[in-house]
């Protein structure tokens, strides 16, 4: 499991001061970027020095409790599934009290940069994800 800590910013909220629903995905994506860096697969490396990209082909979120501007937030990211060409990540968002306030699930598919067709996950990425999946 990878843990990312942040806080809810004013610009993350709606007029009622509640976390705007789409920003749950933004917060999860921030955790995803840092997770990838932590396993040696930064987006700079992927975008500028590899022959593949990782497309998010599915994303879903559940909201359990409201979050407000200034609330501390811990996001626990866990690889859930590792396939030949894809992987799934689960994000558990917890408030200051450690209560789960939401979840996000994303499915990522490896595609060839030139053809944009699915291709097997690179072995280095597979090993890094497996290290976090066990």
Q: What is the DSSP string of 35-86?
A: HHHHTT--HHHHHHH-SEEEEEEEEEEEE-S--BTT-EEEEEEEEEEE-SSE
38 token code pair: 């932590």
Residues annotated as catalytic (active site), given as ranges: 14
Cα–Cα distance measured from residue 104 to residue 97, given in angstroms and rounded to the nearest whole number: 19
Helices (H) and strands (E) in the chain, counts: 3, 5
Q: Check if the beta carbon of residue 90 is closer than 8 Å to that of residue 77.
A: yes
């Amino acid at each position: 499991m990878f843990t990312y800590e942040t806080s809810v910013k004013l610009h993350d909220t709606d007029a009622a001061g509640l976390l705007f629903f789409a920003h749950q995905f933004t917060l999860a994506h921030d955790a995803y970027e840092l997770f990838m860096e932590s396993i040696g697969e930064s987006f700079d490396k992927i975008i500028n020095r590899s022959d593949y990209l990782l497309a998010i082909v599915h994303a879903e979120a559940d909201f359990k409790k409201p979050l407000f501007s200034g609330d501390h937030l811990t996001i626990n990211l866990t690889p859930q599934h590792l396939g030949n060409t894809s992987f799934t990540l689960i994000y558990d968002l917890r408030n200051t009290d450690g209560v789960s306030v939401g979840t996000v699930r994303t499915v990522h598919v490896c595609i060839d940069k030139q053809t944009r067709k699915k291709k097997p996950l690179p072995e280095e990425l597979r090993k890094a994800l497996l290290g976090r999946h066990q």
